[in-house]
Amino acid sequence: MKVDAQTGEILESVELAESSPAVALLPQTKVSLGQAVATVLDSNPDRAAVEARLVEEEEEIVYLIRLDNKEERKVDVIKGTLLQEPAPEEEETPEPAQEPIFE
């Protein structure tokens, strides 16, 4: 799918084959792919969508929108809202070894 970066207008799309897994997921959506792209672009005005697809991840159906900076955003297929990305896990940094203090 090609999307106008400024308006969110769909410029070009590809017809899904009947055997595509996304076709089976479509009846479970309440929000169109175009609406999902527009939601992402509204919250990322300096970006452009370069790829958009309907996927099932961890028993959850979402629209996955890839931006021109390679970041991905997920949109709820029922509510049309951006899904919160989990915070990256921080690596624990070991405490510096304390030197013994002699009196």
pLDDT tens series, the chain, 103 aa: 666 766 777 777 666 555 567 777 877 889 998 999 999 999 998 999 999 888 888 888 899 999 999 999 999 999 999 997 655 555 555 565 566 566 5
Residue 10, pLDDT score? 73
Residue whose C-alpha is closest to residue 70's, from 47, 53, 86, 54: 47
**Angle subtended at Cα 81 by Cα 83 and Cα 33, rounded to the nearest 5 degrees:** 105
Instruction: With CA atoms as reference, report the closest residue to 73 among 89, 59, 62.
Output: 62
Q: What is the pTM of this model?
A: 0.63
